[in-house]
Structure formats: C-alpha cells, structure tokens
Amino acid sequence: MTERLQVYYKIRSDASSIEERARGIAIEQSIEAPLAAIRDPRVLSDIVGEVAAIEDQGGGWFGVRIDLASATVGEDAGQLLNMLFGNSSLYDDVVLDDAVLPAALLRAFGGPRHGAEGLFARAQAEGRALTCSALKPQGLPVEQLADLAFKLALGGLDYIKDDHGLANQSFSPFEDRVRACAAAVRKAAALTGRRIRYVPNLCGDLGQIERQIGVARSEGVDTAMIAPMIAGVSTLQALRQAHPEFAFIAHPAMTGAARVSPYLFARLYRLFGADASIFPNPGGRFGFSQACCGRIVEALCGPLDGLRASLPVPAGGMTLQRVPELLDYYGRRAMLLIGGALLSAPPETLVKETAAFVRAVSEHSYK
Amino acid sequence: MTERLQVYYKIRSDASSIEERARGIAIEQSIEAPLAAIRDPRVLSDIVGEVAAIEDQGGGWFGVRIDLASATVGEDAGQLLNMLFGNSSLYDDVVLDDAVLPAALLRAFGGPRHGAEGLFARAQAEGRALTCSALKPQGLPVEQLADLAFKLALGGLDYIKDDHGLANQSFSPFEDRVRACAAAVRKAAALTGRRIRYVPNLCGDLGQIERQIGVARSEGVDTAMIAPMIAGVSTLQALRQAHPEFAFIAHPAMTGAARVSPYLFARLYRLFGADASIFPNPGGRFGFSQACCGRIVEALCGPLDGLRASLPVPAGGMTLQRVPELLDYYGRRAMLLIGGALLSAPPETLVKETAAFVRAVSEHSYK
C-alpha cells in the first residue's frame, strides 16, 4: 500500500446509486479512464482512488472518503488541487469537504515560514491580538491611498493592507502605490516611534509578482497579500520558496465557499506557506457560520505534523463595536481586520477611530 | 460614464430583498466598502458597481446585471476574475453566469494567437474535424506512456495530449515524459509520413512552466495544454505573450461548473489566449446539457470583436460509436477527444481502433 491522501466529499445522490457515484469519483480523481483501460497492475493497486467510507448524512447527501495516492501530487500545489477536485468540480452535486494529508506531503510543502508567531514577533506584540485595516476603495488615486495609510498608521495599527481589489490599475499602479504607501507609513513611524507594516496586494503572473516583491522589498516591506485562487496556488508555493524573509497573508477571493469548504482552503493555504489567512467572520457580509469559522481556526492553528500555525484573520464587515466579542471568541491568537467600518469615519476623526480600535484590542481582558 | 463590463449573476433571494442583495453585490465586486466611506466623487460615479437590471427568473432565482468599471481590471486576467467573482464566490447563493466585455478590454487581452484556424492549418486538415486522444492513466511509467503515444500516432490522430492528471510526478517526470513521448510520435511519423502533435500538460508555477516549454520546444513540440484555474489565468496570459509560436489548449479542471457558467469560462479562456478549449460533452461522465454546450461553442467561436475563434474540444467519456452524432452536432469546426474508450481496446488492436476513429471523422458526411 502506497501513501494516500484521505479526501472527503459530500455527494448528493440516491442511496441506491451512491456506491457507483463514489467509485466514479474515485476514478475521475485518479486515473480518469475506465478500469478496463488499466493494464498495469501497479497502477491498479497503487494509483486508482479507493472508496474508503460512505456515510448517509441525511437529506439526500452522503459523506464519502476517497483515498488517493500521494505520488500523484508530485509536490506541486496546483496538482494537489487538481487531485482533490479538478474534474469533480464540474459535477454540480459534489462538494469537496476536507482532506487529510500524509506527513511526507506536509513536509514537502513545508507550511508557513513565519506563521502566527512570526507575525506577532514582527509586530512586537505580546499578550494581545493584532490589528489590521485595509486601504480602499479601488479607484482612489495613489496620493489619497497614501494619505489613508498615513492616518491609519498614526492610529497605531500593526498591519495596513491593500484592499484585495487594488491590483495594478491605471488609477493606482502597483509600483507608485507601494512606494507612496510605504513612505506614508514610514513618515507616521517617524512621528510615533512605532513601526507599522504596510502589506501590498500581489497580482498578475509570477514574473510580475517577482517584480512587485522587488519593489516592495526596496521600500522596506516584508509582508504581502496574495489571493492564491486568483494568482494560482503554485504561485504562493513558489513565493514561499524564493522569498524566505517575506510573510504572506492569504486572501479568500475565488475560493467558492459553496463548493469547497473554507476550512480546507484554510489548511491548504497554510500548507502552501500562508503565514496568515483572511476569512469572513459570522455576522458580517458573508454567511459563514460560527461552526465553520471554528473549523477554519482549527485548520490554521491545530496540530499539523509540526508545521507552523497560520494566523487567523477574521474579517468581512467587522466593526469596532464587535471587538470585545471577537476577542472573546478568537482570543489573542488572531489579527482583527476592520476595513470599511473604520474608513466610514469622517477623515478628521479617522486617526482617533483607529486608535480606539487599537486600544480596544490592547486593553481587552483576554480570557 | 466610463467604460463598463456587464456582468450577469444569478442570485437566490426573496423578491422583497433582491434589490438590496443586488446593490450589495455591486459594492462587494467593486469598492468593497460602505458607500459612506467613499468621499471621492469620481469613485462614486466611475468605480462603484451599478445594478443595471434585475429579472425574476422564477423558483426563487433572479438574474442580475451589474456593470463594473473596465479600469478596475488593469488588463490582468486574474484581476478580471477577481472583479467578476472574487468575494462573491463566497456567497453560496450567487452564481456567476456571464459577462460582456468592452472592446478595449478584448483587444488588451487579445485572444488566441492561432485559434481554431491555426490548429487546422498545423494539422493540414481540410473539410473535416480534428481528432485527439489522451495519454493515461497517471501512474504509468514513461516508457508505457511513450508506447501508447507511438500506437495512437500510428493510428493517425491529429493531436495526442497528456491526460490532465499527468503533472511532474516521480512515476513520469515532465522532462523524461515529454522527451520520450515526443520521440515516440516522431518515430511514428517517420513510418507513416504524417506529422502528429504531442501536447504535454503544463503544471506548476510560471517559472517551472517556462522550463517545461523550453523542454517541449527542444523536442519540436508547438502545442501545450494548461488548466488555467489550476495554474492561474494570468499564467496563461503570460504564456500567450511570451511564446507566440505555441498554441495552448485549455483544460476545464477546477472551473466549478455549478458556480461559474462553463460558457463564461470558455469565453474567458479564449480571451486570455486559449487556441482550443476542452469541455464535457452531454451524455458522457458529466452533466452538461446540450444547451450549455451550444453556449460554450458560441463563446468559443462566435463573434468577439475580431478575436480569433478557439476550437471546441468536446470530451469527457466520448466513444467511437458517438462520432457521427458528435460531428452532426459540432460540424467540421471541432476536435473530437476520445481518451479512455480508445485505451480500453486491447493493446494489440489499439492502432486499428484509433485508425477507425480517424476514418470515421475523415469520411463523415458533414452537413
């Protein structure tokens, strides 16, 4: 028996046909050919996916575990995604729910370089959660984004990130934006004596992103955001490998939460090297449940063969009023991201509002 | 009024709240902040998404058109995807149905370099559809894959592609595989006098793919397959730009047909430079309807501001018996891909079966 990944799907099916459906998906996600076409006995024994368990979950849905050969992944993040859900994503009645990866595969990818602890150390934060806000909206010229960054930095946040809608558009090209925002944050640091990290959003192909990293590094930036399902999961893997001094924050854009569970993406992003991962907190603009977010936190911080933990970054319509509740739930080990709600403050009170957010996090009575 | 993309969503909602939902998605897919946070009048007038139409489609579903500013795309394929569905993919009741892109954006991406006509010209095929099969299953050693390639080439196919499960695994590493399969196909050509194209599957990050292209080119390969939602759509865009002599065949892995319409992905892949696009034909292993495939063909071949047509490649469990029906439906302008059904033939009759497939396509009475 070769080493296997355990992959969990939810399949909508009649009870009478679930076994055949499950076998069909085991074949689709491995050899993708009729068994009659397989003549090599090693392929039959080692490579063909195996239906390991079928469980009736009620309501016409079945939980199915399919075991796939580790060797099919070839240590590439994209190919892992392909093995987990490539063709089966085309079925409208199949959801990719979870996956357990063997230790050798976990070690091959390696997980976060810095992880949650690295982000805390960089921020010199002890005994409290981290704070973050976002530069938005897209469409603002560079000067206005830099002005926002300056004010948010004066307010004392740990991290200030680009909105994930800021790419390399003509209204705020990447290089101009990063130079201006990094300078604005340095200017604030010179006033407050406190270093704050500006986190640009990487976009485009790997070649373009490598040039963006170069610009960012030349401005003293050491943390960047990337949406792996937009840029490609192998791109994150390559960046982790090539830039060990950089920390990466993963954004959940295009993860299609209705078809692939958010906690699986959280674990995969951790595996591929995300030091922190953004996800929608319950009660914001998205419909994630508390239970789902609990599993996301477990995926990011739970034991994973010695891999570093990724820092949970609950977001998506959070407000200052909810800070105590968020901290009671997530504790110290999180970065709270409040974007639009802070920016809704009048410009003249933005620094004060931001400082109130920072204070609420630092003065919270953590349980 | 700035230039806009017209984006069509299907949203599950109460009639009483659809207007608010639609406005919420228009904001989510553009400025991603409360309107109260927007102080720049140009952002309000030019960048905020606009709800252009709402149509009750029955059964609790609404068709919603949202117009987004072209300037937000910045001519990057990944960022276009981000604008179309980045955050809204996290809603379980929103489907991305279609998009109409302004001419300037179409020209910026540029579409296929070679397109359907280029693939026909390379195959020196006139008055008939093209033929293709796949090397599979994953797990076979290089020698056996090369032997399959040799036999399929003797059978007279136009294109022989890697299965999309062949990546860079230890059992058939990319470089060894491509050198062996390209050599096998050349050996067959020396016997038959007919050049046949071997199409390797690109995988990994852009840097790895560039090296793969180099290996392929050195073996006389000029066509490659890529799954853009695995490798990253910006990766396809970069390859189209960097390798004008290469033709690219897009594979639909990870396109999640239940949440993004397959015809939109077909059009996007064409836009980003795919010369041909694989999709599941009705009656195979996937549940695509005839109507859906009709829209895929229209997306690939219909008028698109002068962009070249992509070649439709219906696949996914096709058989020799279905060739006449497939050709009656698709006509000459298609490449029929029969993989597993051919490979199910006993090894000693594989060449003959392949030749029968080729003959059925060339001798068909096209309507």
A266 and A285 fall within a common domain: yes
**Residue A287, pLDDT score:** 78
d(CA A84, CA A73): 10
A219 and A169 fall within a common domain: yes
Are residues A32 and B165 in contact, defined by beta-carbon separation less than 8 angstroms?
A: yes
Name the residue among B28, B77, B67, B76 with its Cα closest to residue B265.
Answer: B77
Domain CATH code at residue B48: 3.30.70.150
A49 and A127 fall within a common domain: no
Name the token pair of B231.
Answer: 């490798």
Nearest to A253 among B33, B48, B82 (CB): B82
Closest-CA residue in chain B for A340?
B33
Task: Answer yes or no: is B169 within a domain.
Answer: yes
Q: Which residue has the tokens 């991201």?
A: A337
pLDDT tens digits, one per residue of B129-179: 999 999 999 999 999 999 999 999 999 999 999 999 999 999 999 999 999
pLDDT tens digits, one per residue of A281-317: 988 888 799 999 999 999 999 999 999 999 999 999 8
- What percent of chain A lies above the pLDDT cut of 70? 100
d(CA A257, CA B89): 7
- What residues are paired with B58 via a beta bridge? B61
Cβ neighbours of A349 (radius 10 Å) = 11
Domain boundary among B109, B139, B162: B109
Helix (H) or strand (E) holding B272: helix B262-272
Lowest mean pLDDT among A53-57, B6-10, B279-283: B279-283
B340 and A89 in contact by Cβ < 8 A?
Answer: no
B204 and B250 fall within a common domain: yes
**Residue B283, pLDDT score:** 87
Task: Answer yes or no: is A337 within a domain.
Answer: yes
3 state SS of A137? coil
A263 and A352 fall within a common domain: yes
A11 and A122 fall within a common domain: no
Are residues B134 and B163 in contact, defined by beta-carbon separation less than 8 angstroms?
A: yes
pLDDT tens digits, one per residue of A148-164: 999 999 999 999 999 99
Domain boundary among A51, A83, A109: A109
Could you give the ipTM of this predicted complex? 0.96
B84 and B135 fall within a common domain: no
**What is the residue range of A53's domain?**
4-109
Give the number of domains in chain A: 2
Measured between beta carbons, the chain B residues lying within 8 angstroms of A73 are 167, 169
A84 and A137 fall within a common domain: no
**Residue A153, pLDDT score:** 97
Are residues A161 and A132 in contact, defined by beta-carbon separation less than 8 angstroms?
A: yes
B323 and B194 fall within a common domain: yes
Task: Answer yes or no: is B237 within a domain.
Answer: yes
Name the token pair of A177.
Answer: 């934006």
**Residue B257, pLDDT score:** 84
A256 and B257 in contact by Cβ < 8 A?
Answer: no
DSSP assignments along A224-237, one per residue: EEE-HHHH-HHHHH
A328 and A201 fall within a common domain: yes
Task: Answer yes or no: is B57 within a domain.
Answer: yes
- Average pLDDT rounded to a whole number, residues B254-264: 93
pLDDT tens digits, one per residue of B21-67: 999 999 999 999 999 889 999 999 999 999 999 999 999 999 999 99
Residues in chain A with pLDDT values less than 70: 1
Domain boundary among A109, A132, A156: A109
Model pTM score? 0.97
Closest-CA residue in chain B for A171?
B71
Nearest to A33 among B78, B168, B343 (CB): B343
B25 and B169 fall within a common domain: no
The minimum CA-CA distance between B225 and chain A, rounded to whole Å, is: 14
Q: Which residue, among A28, A70, A82, would best test binding to B if mutated, counting the most B CBs under 10 Å from its CB?
A: A82
Task: Answer yes or no: is A367 within a domain.
Answer: no
Task: Answer yes or no: is B367 within a domain.
Answer: no
Are residues B320 and B353 in contact, defined by beta-carbon separation less than 8 angstroms?
A: yes
Domain CATH code at residue A138: 3.20.20.110
Task: Answer yes or no: is A318 within a domain.
Answer: yes
Lowest mean pLDDT among A210-219, B251-260, B271-280: B251-260
B50 and B190 fall within a common domain: no
Confidence band for B280, pLDDT divided at 50, 70 and 90: very high
Task: Answer yes or no: is B67 within a domain.
Answer: yes
